[in-house]
Amino acid sequence: MQKLTLTRPDDWHLHLRDGAALKAVLPHTVRQFARAIVMPNLKPPVRSFADAVAYRDRIMAAIPSGKHFEPLMTLYLTDNTSPEEIIAAKASQFVKAVKYYPAGATTNSEFGVTDIRRCDRVFETMEELEMPLLLHGEVTDRDVDVFDREKVFIKQQLIPLKLRFPKLRVVLEHITTSDAVNFVLANNNIAATITPQHLLFNRNMLFKGGIRPHFYCLPILKREKHRQALLQAATSGNPKFFLGTDSAPHSRDSKESSCGCAGCFSALHAIELYAEAFESVDALDKLEAFASFYGPDFYQLPRNTEQITLIKKTWRIPNELPFIESGIVPLGAGNEITWQMA
């Protein structure tokens, strides 16, 4: 195949940051995607309906002129989030979901939830209002191996949560294991997003010839058998699995450090990276539904009507792009890629 025409996709899991960083990264997403579910892990986080409205205004102001983009806002769940806040958020129409970070799990998660059961009153309201709960599905126990944190989260937290709230609509975000795939397949009212890095790379990439901080994200890359399970799920045509890049911009300096930040930046070339992954298993015919149909269907939003075109053409991913005080290194920098968005 030399040319691929798709309904314009949406990104169902995206970090846009704020201020100068927001201005630097947003044009990349706007070029490819019509809408995005915007993560609320700012400093301080987006905790209230009022915070979400103000952040949405800042995003709208950063959209390059003449371009169309719709940010879909989320609230950051804390131990103190009230059911009333969820009701106000739902009524606003702007807030499409609520994000759960276990306290201490990842970037800017220090305001996150210390014990998921503390949020049961909020979950009850969310279940009633059909407000999706987006899970960073990892436990934070120091005793649990970093490669097992998703699997243990499913067992210790997610299974009991689904028993307490069977109708709560859940998205298990950026899944990385066959355990997550199997759980999503076996349960109702749960879907999952899958990132390009987890489809394209296994954990060997973190140490290929030396330590490679630009492949470090959370949840961390896993073994090859898990990558295979994700690729199978993404290309299966099952509407429970859809696109969410988790593009998470950090400057080169903050990644190339003795204690580097977690996050891969893929907004530059996300749809091309997914095309590479789907083509690797001869499943390009499944890309459009994964990228453009199943997400809006889950969120009960209309599908986009515009189209984009990808051309079969080899190009090299740049080593660095302008960002803030230092540049930003895109996922797979320096490597060749064989699809290009026209």
> Which residues are known catalytic residues?
246
Q: Which does 217 bind (CB under 5 to 8 A by kind): ligand DOR, Zn ion, none?
A: ligand DOR
If one asks whether residue 246 binds Zn ion (CB under 5 A), the answer comes out as yes
- 286, 290, 293, 296 alpha-carbon torsion, rounded to 10°: 170
Q: Which does 169 bind (CB under 5 to 8 A by kind): ligand DOR, Zn ion, none?
A: none
Q: Which does 218 bind (CB under 5 to 8 A by kind): ligand DOR, Zn ion, none?
A: ligand DOR
In total, the chain counts a number of residues equal to 342
Per-residue tokens: 333: 């920098």
Residues 324, 10: Cα–Cα separation, whole Å:
25
As measured in angstroms, the least distance from the Cβ of 241 to Zn ion is 17
| Count of positions on this chain that bind Zn ion (CB under 5 A) | 1
CB atoms within 10 A of CB 16: 24
Q: Which does 74 bind (CB under 5 to 8 A by kind): ligand DOR, Zn ion, none?
A: none
CA atoms within 13 A on the CB side of 311: 6
As measured in angstroms, the least distance from the Cβ of 299 to Zn ion is 17
Output 198 or 269, the one with its CB closest to ligand DOR.
198
If one asks whether residue 127 binds Zn ion (CB under 5 A), the answer comes out as no
Output 10 or 246, the one with its CB closest to Zn ion.
246
Q: How far is CA 142 from CA 110, 145, 148, 149, 222, in A?
A: 15, 8, 11, 10, 18
As measured in angstroms, the least distance from the Cβ of 246 to Zn ion is 4
Burial environment of residue 95 by CB neighbours within 10 A (0 to 12, 13 to 18, 19 or more):
buried
Q: Which does 45 bind (CB under 5 to 8 A by kind): Zn ion, ligand DOR, none?
A: none
Output 170 or 218, the one with its CB closest to ligand DOR.
218
Residues 195, 122: Cα–Cα separation, whole Å:
28
If one asks whether residue 138 binds Zn ion (CB under 5 A), the answer comes out as no
Q: Which does 106 bind (CB under 5 to 8 A by kind): ligand DOR, Zn ion, none?
A: ligand DOR
Output 24 or 310, the one with its CB closest to ligand DOR.
24
Residues 26, 29: Cα–Cα separation, whole Å:
5
Single out the segment in contact with Zn ion by CB under 5 A; choices: 177-185, 201-209, 244-252, 314-322. Answer: 244-252
Output 218 or 287, the one with its CB closest to ligand DOR.
218
If one asks whether residue 11 binds Zn ion (CB under 5 A), the answer comes out as no
- 113, 115, 120, 123 alpha-carbon torsion, rounded to 10°: 40
Output 234 or 248, the one with its CB closest to ligand DOR.
248
- Binding site residues, ligand DOR, CB under 6 A: 15, 41, 106-107, 136, 217-218, 248, 262-263
As measured in angstroms, the least distance from the Cβ of 254 to ligand DOR is 10
As measured in angstroms, the least distance from the Cβ of 87 to ligand DOR is 27
Residues 207, 193: Cα–Cα separation, whole Å:
25
As measured in angstroms, the least distance from the Cβ of 17 to ligand DOR is 8
Nearest CA to 232 out of 266, 187, 185, 186 is that of: 185
If one asks whether residue 150 binds Zn ion (CB under 5 A), the answer comes out as no
As measured in angstroms, the least distance from the Cβ of 174 to ligand DOR is 7
- 3-state secondary structure string, 29-72? HHHHCCEEEECCCCCCCCCCHHHHHHHHHHHHHHCCCCCCCEEE
Output 88 or 205, the one with its CB closest to ligand DOR.
205
Per-residue tokens: 325: 């005080």
Q: What's the distance, Cα to Cα, between the start and end of the chain in Å?
A: 15
Footprint on this chain of Zn ion (rule: CB under 5 A): 246
